[in-house]
A and B are shown apart, each in its own frame.
Chain A
């Protein structure tokens, strides 16, 4: 018994279990001793990685969901259908985990429902809270057919199909609003946020970078799933997703450059201080490098090239959000902030939870299209029982459940 248990325990699984245990211990610390004991937050530095990573990055990394939903159902690019379900699942899990992370960070989590009845339409956070609530519901509806299919509840699926287009359009709108609003949250701190990051265009930057990282996440997740589930990779699709990512990166790079010129802060790019280094690191590693790499057809066509570029985009995105929440705030706060070990372990624990949940859901529910033999090289034609999402209007390419 026990030896069998240890034989099955691979390296990744052990790491996962360790991270979950550490996260669990920190959870106990957080909820029994409070934020003071578990975090390095302070009156000068009230927001740390639980907001910077768990919330800001979490929401952004889940942006693949609305991007692909828009491509497939609104723009009718049905060839992307085979990767819609895993992406929606990632997004759905992402939003659930963002909410979990928020519960750690809120000082009075039991009062979170106040946002539903105590309105302050002037508050960006109020708007984000509403969008996230509604969009999580939308994602739930978008993913529901997968669960319903498993239990053969075809009638309910049919009802969902009939309202799918409005739901998907609402989802895209909600995402547009709150992805950009996370940037709007910082507009009210023009004196606090270091000028290399503060820009009146933060909402636009947040939106465009979210789409770019959404694409990168689709690529990364397809690679990881192909390893975990020993599936072939949909390279032809991922190459196109990479092209969308490169387009977004290009737009982002041009806008950010023009914005620096416009605000007359180019001089800051050369003064030797922490912010400058972090800015360059973020821009070169996370924006310019993947931009150049993904522009090359050779890179897009190679599995390693595509995967590496996607990882760079994700790193760049995370660095951008962390620079805005931490690096860019330190000068004004007059204090440095390094996350505490419990802060790190809660964050890592939440990420691990996401991987574990994805693994088991993908294992037991029809998330991926069934494979048609080994020789098929990734070009799947969805079979009778499988179709990408909840939309029915695509009779030409996809069979719907009757």
Chain B
């Protein structure tokens, strides 16, 4: 079985050097200007909160909302963990942007041939068993690449080893059913711009619960409508038949057989 990969981002260790973004831009051949926000040319970016640096990128959800909503299946969760995008399929409807719980996908608004841009967790490298470019570049170990379950175990160990250093939560362990990006922090997550109210189960189940009922709606609805039609029209037929009988002087009142 393929091991699920992940990245553990320890916010307490990040010094804000921006090496991750630089390495990312080289890896993905993006313009090399420093950017403070996610954009079509920045798949990861640092935000600063009073000297605390947080790098953001796609969370690579275990059950990705973007992949569920895309009408043409342009997003796929690969077995190793990265959520990848196929521009050849995309129709540009932006439902993925509208519904991503972490507000990640970016769009090329100025282009006449736009596409979605986001971190793909170096899917090609990861597939070959290599680590991501940003984790390789990180000088402090704040971004660490590895197997997801091992990284979660390590995160718990770090919390145990230095009580009081971290808030009691691994962000990404349970959010929307879990993600391949995990965060440790010394400051409550909500103070660092994280959405902390997200539900703990995957979002796609919310729509699938309804969508999966469609066959029933069609079967029951179809039978119901046909039944109504049959009854209402039969009533008409009977009435006509009776009228005809009366006009013809017959006194026989049977309904016509079908």
Contacts and interface: CB of A to CB of B under 8 A. Distances in A.
A362 to B, nearest CB: 28
Nearest to A107: B92
A176 B94 CA distance: 25
A200 B68 CA distance: 18
B239 to A, nearest CB: 7
Interface string A13-53: 00000000000000000011111110001111011000000
Given A76-B229, A108-B92, A394-B236, A184 B207 contact: yes
A333 to B, nearest CB: 8
Given A76-B233, A118-B72, A120-B71, A127 B214 contact: yes
Nearest to A105: B93
Which of B90, B105, B199, B240 is packed against the most chain A CB atoms within 10 Å? B90
Contact of B71 (A73, A126, A187): A126
B109 A115 contact: no
A122 B229 contact: no
A26 B145 CA distance: 48
B69 A123 contact: yes
Interface residues of A, number: 60
A129 B72 CA distance: 10
Interface in B82-115: 89-95, 97-99, 101, 103, 105-115
A37 B217 contact: no
B58 interface: no
A129 B70 CA distance: 12
A114 interface: yes
A191 interface: yes
A31 B111 CA distance: 10
Contacts of B217: 173, 176-177
Which of B91, B195, B198 is packed against the most chain A CB atoms within 10 Å? B91
Interface stretch (B8-16, B178-186, B220-228): B220-228
Interface in A91-147: 105-109, 111-112, 114-115, 118-127, 129
A189 B99 contact: yes
B48 to A, nearest CB: 17
Contacts of B105: 43
B91 A115 contact: yes
Given A123-B70, A190-B199, A395-B240, A184 B222 contact: no
Nearest to B193: A334
B128 interface: no
B211 interface: yes
Contact of B211 (A106, A112, A184): A184
Contact of A176 (B70, B73, B97, B221): B221
A372 to B, nearest CB: 24
B218 interface: yes
A107 B110 CA distance: 10
Given A74-B229, A122-B204, A396 B222 contact: no
Given A43-B38, A190-B206, 20 more contacts: A34-B109, A35-B109, A36-B110, A76-B233, A107-B93, A108-B90, A108-B91, A108-B114, A114-B91, A120-B71, A123-B71, A124-B210, A172-B225, A188-B69, A188-B99, A188-B204, A189-B101, A191-B197, A191-B199, A395-B236
Q: Which 10 A-B pairs have the closest CB atoms?
A: A107-B92, A36-B109, A76-B232, A108-B92, A120-B73, A46-B94, A126-B71, A46-B97, A107-B114, A125-B71
27 contacts: A34-B109, A35-B114, A46-B94, A106-B93, A108-B91, A108-B114, A109-B92, A114-B89, A115-B71, A115-B72, A122-B204, A122-B207, A124-B211, A125-B71, A129-B71, A169-B226, A172-B221, A173-B218, A177-B214, A184-B210, A187-B210, A188-B68, A188-B69, A189-B99, A191-B199, A203-B210, A396-B239
Interface of B: 38-39, 65, 67-73, 89-95, 97-99, 101, 103, 105-115, 195, 197-199, 203-204, 206-208, 210-211, 214, 217-218, 221-222, 225-226, 228-229, 232-233, 235-236, 239-240
